[in-house]
Structures are given as C-alpha cells and as structure tokens.
Amino acid sequence: MKTSGGSDAAKRRAGESAAEAVADGEVVGLGTGSTAAHAIRRLGDRVGSGLDIRGVATSFASRELAADRGIPLLDLDEAVGPDAPGIDVAIDGADQVAVGAAGSDKTASDEAAAGVGPLIKGGGAAHAREKLVDAAAGRFLVVADPSKEVPVLDRSVPVEVLPAGRSAVAEAVRAAGGEPTLRRAERKDGPVVTDNGNLVLDCAFGEIDDPGALATALSTTPGVVEHGLFVGLADEVHVGTETDVRVARR
C-alpha cells in the first residue's frame, strides 16, 4: 500500500474524522489507501462498540481490511439497484485534491472555490471500482493530508485501459498533449495488472486547467476503462494536520 507524502498522524486524524461522520444503520463505501484505511479501522472499532453498518469495499485491499476489522460487508451489486439499500456514504482517499481555482470547468471551479475540489485517484490502481462506489454514494467524503492539496491538479492521471487498447490509448493521450507511461509492476515481471485484469497508463498532462473537459475526453477514448479524475463527486474533504482536522463542505 502506498504511504507516500503526509504523516501517519495527519492521515489518521482525517480518516477518523470521516469515520465519525457515519451514522447508525448506514451502508458505507470503504475506500482504498493508507488514509482510508484509518477510517476503516475506526469504523471497525465503532462496530465493536455496537454501531450497525454494512460496508461496500472499493478494492481487494479494503475488503480484506474491513473483514479483518469485523465490518459486515455487502457486494456492490447487493447495495445498488431497484430493491437494494443504496450506499449512504463513501469514504475514500485521494492522491491530489485541487483547493484553488481549477480552471474553466464550472463544476470543478465551484468545487474548488469551496475547498472541495476535483481529485486525482488511482495510485493504487483501484480507481475504477473506487469511482463506482464513490459515485453511487449519497455523500462522498474525501480524506487527505495537507501534502495532497494543490491549487491546480498536476500529477499524472492513472488511466485503466483494456490490454488490447494500450497503444491506441497512448496515442490518443499524446494527441491530447499528455505523456503516457505504462505502469510497471514490482514483485511480478511486466506491467501492473488491475483487479479487473487491465493495464494502467500514468498520463502526465502538466497543470490540468480544465479537469472536467479532460475527464470527458479520457472517458470517451476507445480502450479507456476508467481514469483517475474525479470531478463533481466530492461532498466533503477532511484534511488532517499534525494537530487538527479541517473539514470543507460543498
């Protein structure tokens, strides 16, 4: 699990703050990464004290941790649908959160002006399922530490692609001004393979002035399964610091 940037104490404050915002009876999307893991651990403690919730995991890793901590789990297919309970709230981390003016996209700017900006996710290659769960949730709470906050998104956007579409998507990314790099695995030869059996291109675009436009361009590119730009999805951002937690709401 990636733990780059930010102190563990700051991440723990953020994760625990969001976990405290979950109410009895809710169905909770359980995010992936070191900060979301703190939320899952706190939710597990609360379940041990009698909190009645059910979790929906965003990844193999979050499912494993939640099961270990005694959180009852639903499959996403059990949680969403005509006769299903729905997902009340999701808690998930981010690799980067925009907190400044974020360019010409209206949704993105409105978000950023409120300190609840568009995000980049996917450092853990779980962003396809994370976006499914986070987008389906009634409230999406982002947990982060100050090292993730930027005025304008500028880190590489992880793009999950069909294996056969790798070169065609890379060409489309270059045509859009980006520089794609196939993510290589550690502890296995060759590329990272996602939980869905696909590959990841980390696509550097420099400063992303219009996250909404780039998100649509990537989504409509043949071969793209999902990308790591989350625009217009976040409802709250909980940022832990060494001493405190800041919560921004849309």
Binding site for a copy of itself (CB under 8 A): 75-77, 79-82, 84, 128-129, 131-132, 135-136, 162, 164-168, 170-171, 174, 196-197, 215-216, 219-220, 222-223, 225-226
- Using DSSP's 3-state secondary structure scheme, residue 47 falls into helix
* Nearer Cβ to a copy of itself (51/169): 169
Cα 1 to Cα 10: distance, rounded to the nearest angstrom: 17
The b/e string for 179-205 (b: 16+ C-beta within 10 A; e otherwise) is ebeebeeeeeeebbebbeebbbbbbeb
Pick the catalytic residue: 16, 26, 111, 130?
Answer: 130
CB of 92 to a copy of itself, least distance (A): 13
Q: Which residues pair with 141 in a beta bridge?
A: 91, 236
Nearer to a copy of itself, 69 or 129 (CB): 129
Catalytic annotation present for 130: yes
> Shortest Cβ distance from residue 230 to a copy of itself (Å)?
10
- Looking at the Cβ atoms of 72 and 81, the one nearer to a copy of itself is 81
Local structure of 230: helix, strand or coil: strand
Measured between alpha carbons, how far apart are the two ends of the chain, in Å? 29
Give the CA-trace dihedral at 147, 153, 155, 157, to 10 degrees. 130
**Nearer to a copy of itself (CB atom), residue 168 or residue 176:** 168
Shortest approach of a copy of itself to residue 39 CB, angstroms? 21
Query: Strand, coil or helix: what is 139?
Result: strand
Q: Which residues are catalytic?
A: 130
